[in-house]
C-alpha cells in the first residue's frame, strides 16, 4: 500500500563536535524531536565539508570535527514547532527546508501477511 502526502523536509547542518548542555547536539535535537512527537529523524555523518567560514571539516585523529546532517520529514505545522527550539540549540550551522512529496510504502513481506 502506498500513501502520498505533502510534507516538509528539514535538514540541519553543523559539526560533529557541536554540543548542547554537555551532550552531542545531534543527540539533543533527535531527543527533542521525539519529545515533540515529530514523525522521525535521521543523523548522517559526512566525510568532509565546509560552510561559510570555509573551514574544512573532516575526520581527524584527535578531534571529532566531521560534518553532521540531521534530516527530518514531517508536516509543516509540526516542523514549525521544532525549528525555533533547534535554532536556540545551535551555536552555528545551517537550517534548510524544502517542500517534498512524502510517499509511505507499506508492502507485505514476501509470501507473508501484512503486519498489524
Interval 12-44: pLDDT, tens = 999 888 999 999 999 999 999 999 999 999 999
pTM of the model: 0.80
pLDDT of residue 60: 58
Evaluate whether residue 112 is within a structural domain.
Answer: no
Q: How many domains would you assign to the chain?
A: 1
Evaluate whether residue 75 is within a structural domain.
Answer: yes
Quick check: 57 and 67 in contact, CB under 8 A?
Answer: yes
Evaluate whether residue 115 is within a structural domain.
Answer: no
Q: For the segment 40-72, what is each residue's pLDDT rounded down to a tens digit? A: 999 998 877 666 665 666 665 556 678 899 999
What is the domain-level CATH number for residue 55?
3.30.70.120
Evaluate whether residue 10 is within a structural domain.
Answer: yes
Residue 99 structural domain: 2-104
pLDDT of residue 113: 64
Largest CA distance in the chain: 54
- CA separation for the pair 45, 108 (Å, rounded): 32
Amino acid at each position: 500500500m502506498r500513501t502520498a502526502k505533502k510534507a516538509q523536509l528539514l535538514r540541519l547542518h553543523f559539526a560533529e563536535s557541536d554540543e548542547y548542555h554537555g551532550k552531542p547536539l545531534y543527540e539533543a535535537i533527535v531527543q527533542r524531536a521525539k519529545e515533540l512527537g515529530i514523525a522521525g529523524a535521521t543523523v548522517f555523518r559526512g566525510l568532509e565539508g565546509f560552510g561559510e567560514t570555509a573551514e574544512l571539516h573532516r575526520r581527524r585523529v584527535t578531534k571529532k570535527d566531521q560534518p553532521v546532517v540531521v534530516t527530518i520529514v514531517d508536516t509543516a505545522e509540526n516542523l514549525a514547532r521544532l525549528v525555533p527550539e533547534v535554532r536556540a540549540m545551535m551555536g552555528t550551522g545551517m537550517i534548510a527546508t524544502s517542500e517534498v512529496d512524502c510517499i509511505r510504502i507499506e508492502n507485505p513481506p514476501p509470501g507473508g501477511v501484512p503486519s498489524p
